[in-house]
Amino acid sequence: MPKYVYDFAEGNKDLKDLLGGKGANLAEMTNLGLPVPPGFTITTEACRAYLLSGTQPEGLEAEITTHLAALEAKMGKRLGQSDDPLLVSVRSGAKHSMPGMMETVLNIGLNDQSVRGLAAQSGSERFAFDSYRRLIQMYGKTVLGIDGEHFAHVLDEAKRAKDTTNDLDLDAEDLRKLVETFKEVIVEHAGRPFPQEPREQMDLAIRAVFESWNTDRAVIYRRQERIPTDLGTAVNVCSMVFGNLGMDSGTGVAFTRDSASGAQGIYGDYLQNAQGEDVVAGIRNTMQLGDLEKIDEKSYHQLLQIMQTLEEHYRDLCDIEFTIERGKLWMLQTRVGKRTAAAAFRIALQLTDQGLITMDEAVSRVSGAQLAHLMFPRFDDSVGRAHGAQRIAVGIAASPGAAVGKVVFDSYTAVKWSRSGESVILVRRETNPDDLNGMIAAAGILTSRGGKTSHAAVVARGMGKTCVCGVEAIDVDTKKRILRASSHGKAIEIHEGDVISIDGTSGEVFLGEVPVVASPVVRYFEGDEDALQDELVAAVDRVMRHADGTRRMSVRANADTPEDAARARRFGAQGIGLCRTEHMFLGERRVLVERLILADTDAEREGALAELLPLQRDDFTGILEAMDGLPVTIRLLDPPLHEFLPDITELSVRVAVAEARGEPRENDLRLLQAVHQMHEQNPMLGLRGVRLGVVIPGLFQMQSRAILEAAAARINAGGVPRVEIMVPLVANVQEFETVKLDIIQVARDVRAETGVHLEFLIGTMIELPRAALTADQIAEPAEFFSFGTNDLTQTTWGFSRDDVEGAFFSAYLEKGIFGISPFESIDVDGVGELIRIAVEKGRSRRPSLKLGVCGEHGGDPDSVHFFEKVGLDYVSCSPFRVPIARLEAGRSVVPD
């Protein structure tokens, strides 16, 4: 039988899978000799067993009994003992911290008798009844599932009766009455009385924690954070310490560094005479951690000492929950803290410079997603903030970034509007876990209450979402859907749908749209040396250098124009992995394409192609020049030709109108016939890619000629063009061979005509399952493969992206059929397996085969790690994502 329960002294920080993050770190702190109230942890394995069967696994109850008995012996009192009760908290704690996701019940063991014992022992009746009312409240909400509003309402009434908003103004008698009313609330809403038996309280709370793993908001959070659904949560049973014993007691949170900037210092909040979540729930105004020194110097200095110990021990930013009970400091939680993207980079380098971590570790501690976040535009300082927008308030800068959007007051509207493409700012008095969906959908979050550690702030930072919180100068009326503020002494009302801008770096809130500028990190990538003055940019620079020096794969860009190619190169691209040619058939060139399609005779067709040739040659010359010396993979025309023809309805109308006027237009008529003729039921699976090259005489030859003539011209101009001609949508080797022969003939001709010796590669895209499965055959004539993972995903799954994303993806994501869209991150088991097979088969026939990927997955962090694993030579992605791919390619080879 597995061991289901571990004493805090038995675990350690590396047992997160089994003990959850909270339990593992409580154990670690216990073993470091820090003052942690004794307790034990029930494993995630027990939770999984419980969730599978719906009952406690065999042996769990007995094990809990043994550990509880040991705890009671240690503390010298029994759980709920009438004259001197041992009280415990039952706390959830999964492997990954899920802030506010799962609930905790404090003060378990109190009942109508033991509350008197607690009063006598502590000498404070007020404290005893305050603890009891908290227990009933939390128990009712968490274990019995009663809407917390019912309790909050009663509490508010009690305060109102005393004409106060401060819970400290309630005296023992008020709290005793509150306990009675709370008990009535329980009977009314749960249909049963509050359980008086301490062990029953504990057992039911443990069960409730197990079950909280599957609440909607936990499921949503996991999906957002890509946390697996089957891990389960551990449960910690921890003896209580009391911050609500008077003004010499209190509870607080602390960070070893500023989680928004990374700066070292004293960061945190403290609240006197309070318990548990009070400090983050914003019930009273907290004091800054630094001020604790004035109230309780001894505890303050001990806390600073512990913070340093923890940071050196974890070698990272830690966040901490602590409680002071009548002058004695207790540690209740620590973990490696969440941080903003900017802080992640700064901290990684600061720790490196302090000698705590290596550069490899520094690289592994930042992510491509964080780098992407740093590349978002900022509000433009220089044009004056008030430019067209007026500043209406300043709050707490909780999570950096600039967000502009329409005001919405609830999650539902946030989701609905953002689905229809609107950028929205979710405005709430404060957020709670039920707002999660809206927070995910919103561009930014604005609250009128709560500090840097409020739910909104913590969750927003975790998501990398812009957030301004605690804007006390605004009044949020979610019922009337109005945000009231004042500007230049004048009261203003902002309604749902009005545009506001929020700055998560300064805390400013603007009415209207504030213009944005490129981030300094982007300016650095663009080659602006001055940007390096900025500490953050310098940190990014060092991380990027190390990643570049470490990675095995190279990184190329998907770029179709000389401008894109040049930018990609500045961003560190080592070539072009995909240069599409379809845009070269658009605009004024459409007429030529129409002539090509309508050609009745060889001469007409050749005429059209001959006119396209010099235009394309110029396009290629520009791109090869921008990428001089680096490989450029050019894809021959891929989309179906009818995509270049006018829209069928538009054309029909034109023809009909002309006929009605009695002046029929010959050309339009022919065009309409052609459009009808070429119409396809499933264009994605129709006449496109290599199939065009096979059936449209001269088309691929013209393109190849344009490419090779451009290369010859570059050589004559002293350049070093490295051309790779890529044939799309190949399914079988004969298709490829047919086209390849044509290209080789063209190359011979161009060599003869120009006298320039040309070297280039001819390869193919692998974007059909058949191509992957016959990759050994295709590798014989093909010199390189480039995985077109967008089409490969479509053809493997048998759905077209444009048709399905709107139709059923959200249902699939909701039901957990997809963890994440296979268009966003490579489907390792299916599409990934085809890639693996193609790599293996291709290399077996041609060991020198060059392998890359040019689908959008080339810039997706998780996918990049997969491509490293299967041994591709390079990834290619959009120019803007090149730095992200460089970083992730580096991270994919440094040890974790």
**Could you list the active site residues?**
455, 854
The 3-class SS string of 830-876 reads: HHHHHHHHHHHHHHHHCCCCEEEECCHHHHCHHHHHHHHHHCCCEEE
Q: Which residue type sits at 742?
A: D
- Stretch in the footprint of ligand ADP (CB under 6 A) among 207-215, 235-243, 288-296, 762-770: 235-243
Least distance in angstroms from the C-beta of 441 to ligand ADP: 24
Give the interface segment with ligand ADP, choosing from 40-48, 98-106, 218-226, 798-806 (CB under 6 A). 98-106
Residue 896: count of CB within 10 angstroms of its CB: 6
Residue 438 site contact among ligand ADP, Mg ion, none (CB < 5 to 8 Å, cut-off depends on kind): none
Residue 44 touches ligand ADP, criterion: CB under 6 A = no
Q: Residue 19 and residue 11: Cα distance in Å, rounded?
A: 8
Among 702, 703, 688, smallest CA distance to 735 is for 688
- 3-class secondary structure for 556-610? EEECCCHHHHHHHHHCCCCCEEEECCHHHHCHHHHHHHHHHHHCCCHHHHHHHHH
Residues whose CB falls within 8 Å of the CB of residue 27, separated by 6 or more in sequence, listed in order: 6, 8, 9, 10, 11, 12, 13, 15, 19, 41
Q: Cβ of residue 134: shortest distance to ligand ADP, in angstroms?
A: 10
Looking at the Cβ atoms of 76 and 798, the one nearer to Mg ion is 798
The reply to whether 249 sits near ligand ADP by the rule CB under 6 A is no
Residue 791 binds Mg ion, judged by CB under 5 A: yes
User: Residues for the chain: how many in total?
Assistant: 896
465, 399 contact by CB (below 8 A): yes
Nearby residues of 741 by Cβ (< 8 Å), 6 or more positions away = none
- Looking at the Cβ atoms of 332 and 407, the one nearer to ligand ADP is 332
Stretch that binds ligand ADP, among 174-182, 234-242, 265-273, 573-581 (CB under 6 A): 234-242
Query: How many other C-beta atoms lie within 10 A of the C-beta of residue 521?
Result: 27
Which 8-state DSSP code applies to residue 800?
Answer: -
CB-nearer residue toward Mg ion: 21 or 788: 788
The listed partner (ligand ADP, Mg ion, none) that binds 503, CB under 5 to 8 Å by sort, is: none
Q: Which span sits near Mg ion by CB under 5 A: 129-137, 770-778, 780-788, 795-803?
A: 780-788
Residue among 137 and 367 whose Cβ is closer to ligand ADP: 137
Cα gap 246→228, rounded to integer Å: 43
Size of site (CB under 6 A) for ligand ADP: 16
The whole-angstrom separation of Cα 316 and Cα 257 is 9
Dmax of the chain from CA atoms?
A: 107
* Contact in structure between 345 and 540 (CB atoms under 8 Å): yes
Residue 91 contact partner, candidates ligand ADP, Mg ion, none, CB within 5 to 8 A by sort of partner: ligand ADP
Per-residue binding string, Mg ion, 746-775, x by CB under 5 A, is ---------------------x--------
By three-state DSSP, how is residue 35 classified?
A: coil
Interface residue with ligand ADP, options 106, 457, 566, 599 (CB under 6 A): 106
Among 11, 20, 21, 37, binds ligand ADP (CB under 6 A): 37
125 binds ligand ADP (CB under 6 A): no
Among 140, 250, 276, 507, the residue binding ligand ADP under the rule CB under 6 A is 276
In the region spanning residues 265 to 324, those forming contacts with Mg ion, defined by CB under 5 A, are: 321
Per-residue x/- mask for ligand ADP, residues 313 to 352, rule CB under 6 A?
--------x-x--------xx-------------------
d(CA 657, CA 234): 73
Residues 261, 339 contacting (CB under 8 angstroms): no
Using CB under 6 A as the binding rule, whether residue 104 contacts ligand ADP is answered as yes
- In angstroms, rounded to a whole number, what is the distance separating the alpha carbons of residues 181 and 138? 14
89 in contact with ligand ADP (CB under 6 A): yes
Of 77, 78, 91, 542, the one binding ligand ADP by CB under 6 A: 91
Sign of CA dihedral 51, 55, 59, 62: positive
If the CB atoms of residues 240 and 747 are measured against ligand ADP, the closer one turns out to be 240
* 775 Cβ contact list (under 8 Å, min separation 6): 766, 785, 837, 838, 839, 841, 842
Q: Which stretch binds ligand ADP (CB under 6 A): 120-128, 148-156, 237-245, 433-441?
A: 237-245
Q: Does 333 bind Mg ion (CB under 5 A)?
A: yes
Q: Which of 252, 788, 842, 858 binds Mg ion (CB under 5 A)?
A: 788
Stretch that binds ligand ADP, among 138-146, 238-246, 435-443, 511-519 (CB under 6 A): 238-246
* Rounded Cα gap, residues 349 and 340, in angstroms: 14
- Whichever of 39 and 689 has its CB closer to ligand ADP, that residue is 39
- # of chain residues touching Mg ion (CB under 5 A): 5
Q: How far is the CB of 218 from ligand ADP (least distance, A)?
A: 12
Residue 237 CA to residue 242 CA, distance in Å, equals 15
SS3 assignment for 329-350 = EEEEEEEECCCCHHHHHHHHHH
Closest CA to 766 of 729, 722, 735: 729
Q: Would you say 219 or 893 has its CB closer to ligand ADP? A: 219
Among 49, 175, 240, 414, binds ligand ADP (CB under 6 A): 240
431 in contact with ligand ADP (CB under 6 A): no
Residue 79: closest CA among 160, 197, 180: 197
Q: What is the residue-wise DSSP string for 753-797? A: HH-----EEEEEEE-SHHHHHTHHHHHTT-SEEEE-HHHHHHHHH
Dig out the tokens for 465 from the structure: 């979402």
Report what 767 binds from ligand ADP, Mg ion, none; CB cut-off 5-8 Å by kind. Mg ion
Q: Provide, rounded to whole angstroms, the least separation between the CB of residue 840 and ligand ADP.
A: 46
Structure tokens at 727: 């044939």
- From the list 392, 388, 423, the residue with the least C-alpha distance to 405 is 423
Paired with 79 in beta bridges are: 86
Cα distances (Å, whole numbers) of residue 177 to 88, 173, 253, 748: 24, 6, 31, 97
| Min dist. Cβ of residue 238 to ligand ADP (A) | 4
The least CB distance from residue 550 to Mg ion, in Å, is: 31
With residues binned 3-state (H G I as helix, E B as strand, rest as coil), the percentages for the chain, rounded to 5, are: 50, 20, 30
Residue 79 binds ligand ADP, judged by CB under 6 A:
no
Q: How far is the CB of 42 from ligand ADP (least distance, A)?
A: 13
321 vs 888 by CB, closer to Mg ion: 321
- Report the nearest approach of Mg ion to the CB of residue 855 (Å): 8
791 binds, among ligand ADP, Mg ion, none (CB under 5 to 8 A by kind): Mg ion
Residue 788 near which of Mg ion, ligand ADP, none (CB within 5-8 Å, type-dependent)? Mg ion
Cβ distance to Mg ion smaller for residue 282 or 400: 282
31, with CB counted inside 10 A (0-12, 13-18, 19+), is middle
Shortest separation between residue 561's beta carbon and ligand ADP, angstroms: 51
| Rounded Cα–Cα distance for residues 7 and 40 (Å) | 4
103/791 with CB nearer Mg ion: 791
The interface partner of residue 241, options being Mg ion, ligand ADP, none and the CB cut-off 5 to 8 Å by kind, is ligand ADP
Q: Which range in 100-108, 153-161, 602-610, 707-715 contacts ligand ADP by CB under 6 A?
A: 100-108
> Which partner from the list ligand ADP, Mg ion, none does 238 bind, CB cut-off 5 to 8 Å by kind?
ligand ADP
Residue 277 as a binder of ligand ADP (CB under 6 A): the answer is yes
Q: Quick one: 241 or 485, whose CB is closer to ligand ADP? A: 241
Residues contributing to the site for Mg ion (CB under 5 A): 321, 333, 767, 788, 791
- Residue numbers of the site for ligand ADP (CB under 6 A)? 37, 89, 91, 100, 104, 106, 238-241, 276-277, 321, 323, 332-333
